[in-house]
Copies of this chain bind each other. A is one copy, B any other.
Amino acid sequence: MTAAARPLAEAATLVERVLARHRERTVTELLRHIPEQSPPYLYELAADYPARPCKGLRSALCLATCAAFGGDSGRALNPAVTVELFHNGFLIHDDIQDGSELRRGAPTLSAEHGVEVALNVGNATNLLGLRRLMANRHELGGELAWRLFEETELMCRQSLEGQALEIAWIRDNACDLVPADYYRMCLKKTSWYTFLYPCRSGLLVAEGANTDAARLDRFGWYLGAAFQIQDDVLNLIGTEADYGKEIAGDLWEGKRTLLLIHLLERCTPAERARVVRYLSRTRAQRGPGAAEDVRWLLDRMAAYDCVESAQQAAAGLVAAAEREITEVLAAAPDPVEPSEEAAEAREFLLALPDFVVARGR
């Protein structure tokens, strides 16, 4: 049955079931490696974000990719924990940088414990990730351990560069961006660590250090762009309870989303001047009067169908991701011993694009 023919509800149930199972495995293993002896405000807080309700998408993707390509997902557990640790480390630092108040439905570490503590906890979380990478040497052998180090270094580099791009656009008040700029930033900031890195890690564990770990890159890149666009849309139209973060926070922060780029491309010169003026000020400089500006921006985005066109772009990317994963799976050799886990993992990967955009993170 192709992804398109599979009823959405059934596929979603499968995706949710696999996510829940992998999340349980990953979080249990992750928490087992948090040091018990800790100075106050360090390791015990590194356990906070991972234990909050979330889908565990990245680690599940690592485990499912390993299984779908004939590997033993148990061997991918340590890499999956690593993926999750670096993800949480990024979130903690991100929340400091954005001055965010909410994460996964509760106060951010920086809002609750201050920047000083949160910065340390983010670094401690990354350090725990490094420790897991070192543990690979004994669990998976030196060759594969080095490859996973290389993948992690590349992922961190891409993520940092993507974030630097986004920050630079806000700082330098870039207002002439085109969608291709946004997509380039997405690939680096979101796709790499959310999709490419987990897929590459899973492939490496399944097939060994010398495999072509890049053959799911296009799948990951399409999916990541769809995922980020959907996240940007939810940021505008979601409710705080569903989304777990401040609503329209992206507008308050001046983030260069596809929706904002569409608005800047489509609005009248007078409207554009107002948008540019709004964007030229920091959140602090705008003061409380900015609430009216944000309402006006939302209204103009509605008038120019910015949400609809972003959703259309996401739908196109989902279709492209489905084509990619179908092709790569079809080209993979049949498993020597077909297992139920491998079959389910393949279904999971095929259903994931639709799920990601239909359900959000």
Interface residues of A (CB under 8 A from B): 38-42, 93, 96-98, 114-117, 119-120, 123-124, 126-127, 130-131, 134, 137, 142, 146, 149-150, 153, 156-157, 160-161, 163-165, 167-168, 171-172
Contact = CB atoms under 8 A, between A and B. Distances in A.
Contacts of A153: 127, 130-131, 134
Contacts of A124: 160, 164
Contacts of A160: 42, 120, 123-124, 127
B41 A167 contact: yes
23 contacts: A38-B161, A39-B168, A40-B164, A40-B168, A40-B171, A41-B171, A42-B161, A42-B164, A93-B123, A96-B119, A97-B120, A114-B171, A116-B167, A117-B164, A117-B171, A123-B156, A126-B126, A127-B156, A127-B157, A130-B130, A131-B153, A134-B149, A134-B153
Given A40-B168, A164-B40, A93 B117 contact: no
A115 B97 contact: yes
Contact of A41 (B41, B115, B168): B168
Contact of A119 (B41, B93, B142, B172): B93
A292 B126 CA distance: 41
B164 A39 contact: yes
A124 B160 CA distance: 7
Given A93-B123, A97-B120, A119-B119, A40 B172 contact: yes
Contacts of A115: 96-97, 115
A285 to B, nearest CB: 13
Nearest to A118: B97
